[in-house]
Amino acid sequence: MFEIYNLTDINDIKYILKKHGFHFSKSLGQNFLTDENVPKEIARLCTSDKDCGIIEIGAGMGTLTKELSKVCKKVVSLEIDTALIPVLKETLADCENVTVINADVLKTDINKLIEEYFPNTNVYIAANLPYYITTPVIMHILESDAPIKAMTVMVQREVAKRLCADEKSSDYGAISLAVAYRTEPKLLFDVPPQSFIPEPSVYSSVVKLNLREKPPVNPQSPENFFKLIKAAFALRRKTFVNSVCATLPELSKENVIKSLKTCNLPENIRGESISIENFASLSDLLFKK
């Protein structure tokens, strides 16, 4: 027989963690939810497909995991912190459709994971990502080209703005373009600091990234397209010309300026004012064979 805990009740959280001798890790950016509505809403917005599979990144103590298990056929949850595995074994004892794996998502082959656990199944991803690892995790998944329908992630609010930004926003950057190329991002809702233990110093936001069937642009070389984007934002206070020429010395200043003129863009434009369509055109012009 197992105990049923309220995983968003502060007293239950403290009791379980103390029982297992668990201490929060600042290096892993651990904050556990104390507002029961948040994990329920994330699970609801993650998918409406009851026959799907969900990969969860960062199980924590199982608060979101438990809600995800109610909206799909199977959950595979990756948790990097070995100290949380016995906690999860207890808190998720009543969730028969959940498999917890002690693993680092950045060292996990997402395609192999899907092949093993979700053959012929629509797969979604859900995650509560600490600030320091948000971009690496999202890029790891997107660059894997794994057959995923959507990602629903809770991140620091400032990061959420960058994920959803376009060239009209001051939050626009390389990650905005990488996300827009592969997904259709949507900001869902904000989560205040008091919804966590320990309380973070900033607001969080939940974002859904719906994977595109095909990108909105078709550059001749996606590799060169992203190389140019990274170069354009490498020196954010510099103009596009200066940042690109400093980062990619193989490109001449003359050709960079000429390419801007061909795209009807001013010579002094910065990367944060260039649309994804213009980045595709510029990469084709600058790297044409």
Tell me the whole-structure pTM to 2 decimals.
0.91
Tens-place pLDDT, residues 88-115: 999 999 999 999 999 999 999 999 999 9
Residues 241-259 as b/e (b if ≥16 CB within 10 A, e otherwise) read bebbbebbeebeeeebeeb
Mean of all residue pLDDT scores within the chain: 94
- Alpha carbons 169 and 63: distance in angstroms, whole number: 34
Tens-place pLDDT, residues 139-164: 999 999 999 999 999 999 999 999 99
Other CB atoms within 10 Å distance of the CB of residue 109 = 11
Strands 204-211 and 183-191: antiparallel
Q: Which domains does the chain have, with CATH numbers?
A: 10-211 (3.40.50.150), 222-286 (1.10.8.100)
Give, as one character, the DSSP assignment of residue 261: H
Tens-place pLDDT, residues 22-43: 887 776 778 889 999 999 999 9
Query: Tell me, what's the pLDDT at 23?
Result: 81
Query: Tell me, what's the pLDDT at 1?
Result: 55
Which pair of tokens denotes residue 232? 């354009």
The SS3 assignment for 286 reads helix
Contact 13, 22 (CB under 8 A): no
